[in-house]
Structure formats: structure tokens, C-alpha cells
Structure 1
């Protein structure tokens, strides 16, 4: 059984490595998503992937209940309808880890230095996933939060944030790493 897992892991990593080696800067401009596999070394199994895209359709699907724990934009995105973040996900896709979900609105270099930030524009973002973290970039539009642990990490919101319950607001962090909100922060109750 372990040899099957090892062969599967090796084949997956070779496929991912070959795919990534063939990427060029021209491909960053297209609307297809790139999937990067992550391995858990203790089990030697591929357990999750990140959705990285410049397509609003791909990002919307990746943030759905059928999506991924980490979603990253590669350019500014505009949504014509509300963007809903749904589902329960765990850090690095490992169910033994804490519940966590991340939307990265930035790019970084090999030293993890932010090299570019992006703007996500939507009439409203509805957050139903617990411990959802928006990292860097800007959200233009209102945000409705229906879950505990919402975080803005270096991100800016040009709009209002409404929490459906006081406990959701109390569990939120809207100022991590210089994050800001230009509109009102309220509780709907």
C-alpha cells in the first residue's frame, strides 16, 4: 500500500513539476487556473491544491463549498454578482489542522516579499466560511460576514462590513498588518 502511495505521490509531483516548468509569463495572462499540488510528508499522499487564477469564474468556483482552502488571484477581478465564500476547509487542506481558508490578492517572490497586489470588485462578498482570511490587496464592495474568525491581513476594504451576529464581529480581526476598512463596520442584529 505504501509503495502505491509513493508511486502516486511521485507521479503527481512529476506532473506538477513538469507543468510548472512549462509555464511562461504569457500563460499568466490567460483565464485558466493553475493547480499546484501539496504533499503531506508523513502520509506521502497528495491532499490538497490551491486555485490560482485571473478568471472571475474560476475564483468564484474555488471559493464555493466545492473549492479549495487557498485561492489566489493573479490580476484585478470584477464580479457582476455577489461573491459567496462557502464551505469548511482546513489549513493546507489537512483535516487534522485547524479550520482555515485564505484568499490571496497578491503575488510574491521566492523570499515571500509581496511583489504585486490586486483589487477584487463585487457588489457584495458573503462570507460563510469560518476563519476566512483575506490577505493583501483591496476589496471594493460590501462584505457580509456569517461566520467566526474573519480576518483582514494587510487587506483594504472600500465598502462596509456587516456581521450577522455580534459574536462574529467579536471574533474578527480587521486590522492585522495594517488592514483597513473605509466604510462602516456594523452588526445586523
Structure 2
């Protein structure tokens, strides 16, 4: 019982660090301010998940579910993760999980300290990551695999893609930013149409 309590306290600390970045890196409005978020933490038999505001895990099954249409607006990896099959990012989500917020979704592949300095970056390995959620941002870290974009507003923010990025239409590519904060793609960036 004591080890579960210690694990939950540790997870709460990680959640606080990751969620602290939420207000800092979304520049969809010029008057964006940082806010504190209250987070409810629950434990399952194989993973821990922050409920209602984010999914934070190193379990591929938890992260894949969080990226689905039934998932969350913020998904954060806590270590390197390998997906054995393709993953689809689907559904419409809003900044901070608030319906009144801008359409926005974030995959955080990093951890940070209390001053929001990035302290570690993580790699997800996936055959193909298909993006169907509008304004999906991959922040820091590395995606090893190809990304297929089927929505407007795709952003790489300080992230690296070791693979190709293929946009379904020219409109999707025109609305994207794959170079924000020194992001890079080692493969090709193309339009499939």
C-alpha cells in the first residue's frame, strides 16, 4: 500500500511538471497566460493516467488510447515508447480540455523542471502515425517512423521526425509548420495528391 502511495505521489510530481508546459507553448493567441491546473490521478493495474486533462504514461496501449477519438487533448510520454502497429490520432479536442478553448491537441515527448526547462526528450517509434486531429502538435522529442497528415494545422515544435511526412492535400501542408523551434524531418515532406 505504501509503495502505491509513493508511486502516486511521484506520478503527481511528473504530471505537474508536464502539465505546467501547457500554458507556455501554445501560441495560438498573443495574450496567452500560464494557468495552474488541478489534476486528478488514478492508478490502474499496469499504468497510471491523469484523468480529464491529460494522459501521461510510458505504456503504448495507454498512449494509443489517449491519441484516439476517445482520448485527451494532451498526451505525454514519460520515456521512450515503441508501437508495434500503426497509430491514428483522431477526434476534435480543445486547448486545456475546455470546450470554449481553441481546437488544439498536443503530444509532449519531453519532461521539464519547475522552471519549464526541458530536462529530457523521448522517442516514439511507430511504423506510421496518421494524424486526423486538427491543430495537432508534436512538441520536442523524436518520432521514428512516417507521419501521414489528414488535417489542418499540424505542427512540429522542437521535434524531429526520423522518417517522411506526407500530407493528404496541399491545403494540409500549407496550414502546417514542420520547422517551428528548429524542428526537422530527415526524410521527405510531400503531398500525396
Q: Residues 139 and 158 of structure 1 are in contact (CA less than 8 Å); yes or no, is this contact kept in structure 2?
A: yes
Unaligned 5+ segments in structure 1 are 1-18, 37-47
Residue of 11, 24, 39 corresponding to 2:10: 24
Structure 1 residue 105: Cα displacement:
0.2
Q: Please tell me whether residue 156 in structure 1 is matched to residue 160 in structure 2.
A: yes
Residue matched to 1:89 = 93
Q: CA RMSD in A?
A: 2.0
Q: Residues 33 and 54 of structure 1 are in contact (CA less than 8 Å); yes or no, is this contact kept in structure 2?
A: no
Structure 1 residue 49: Cα displacement:
1.5
Q: Residues 80 and 122 of structure 1 are in contact (CA less than 8 Å); yes or no, is this contact kept in structure 2?
A: yes
Residue of 19, 27, 48 corresponding to 1:33: 48
Residue matched to 2:33 = none
Q: Residues 123 and 142 of structure 1 are in contact (CA less than 8 Å); yes or no, is this contact kept in structure 2?
A: yes
| Partner secondary structure for residue 23 of structure 1 | helix
Change in CA separation of 1:62 and 1:22 when aligned onto 2, cut-off 3 Å: closer
**Larger CA Rg, structure 1 vs 2:** 1
Q: Deviation digits for residues 38-93 of structure 1, max 9, x if unmatched? A: xxxxxxxxxx3210001000000000000000000000000010011000000001
| Partner secondary structure for residue 56 of structure 2 | strand
Unaligned 5+ segments in structure 2 are 15-44
Q: Residues 34 and 51 of structure 1 are in contact (CA less than 8 Å); yes or no, is this contact kept in structure 2?
A: yes
Question: What TM-score do the two structures reach when normalised by structure 2?
Answer: 0.78
| Paired positions, count | 158
Structure 1 residue 132: Cα displacement:
0.1
- 1:4-153 alignment to 2 at 5 Å? 22-24=8-10, 31-35=46-50, 48-153=52-157
Change in CA separation of 1:188 and 1:20 when aligned onto 2, cut-off 3 Å: farther
Q: Which runs of 4+ in 1 moved over 6 A?
A: none
Question: What TM-score do the two structures reach when normalised by structure 1?
Answer: 0.79
